[in-house]
Amino acid sequence: MAVWGGAGWLLDQWLDTRVFFPVGIIFGMAVAIYLVVARYGAADPPPAGRRPTRTTPGGRRSRPRTQKGQR
């Protein structure tokens, strides 16, 4: 926002207008939002063909089975 707003302000000063500063601010906001979404957007889908780990209905893994007499 600061970079594009500053560029718009300088252009407004040079051309003696008042339109480029707000346009620069809005453009800077749009670019910032785009960069955040591009960087931290949706997670990658899981790879195809990989089997999920087996879990119990509650989502917890079942206890490991032990031989008789062991804890």
What is the predicted pLDDT for the residue at 9?
Answer: 96
3-state secondary structure the chain: CHHHHHHHHHHHHHHCCCCHHHHHHHHHHHHHHHHHHHHHCCCCCCCCCCCCCCCCCCCCCCCCCCCCCCC
Mean pLDDT of 18-47: 89
Q: Look over the chain and give the mean of its residue pLDDT values, rounded to a whole number.
A: 82
pLDDT digits (tens, 9 = 90+) for 12-26: 999 999 999 999 999
- Which residue is associated with the tokens 């509650």? 58
Q: Which long-range contacts (CB under 8 A, 24 or more apart) does 9-15 make?
A: none
pTM confidence score: 0.57
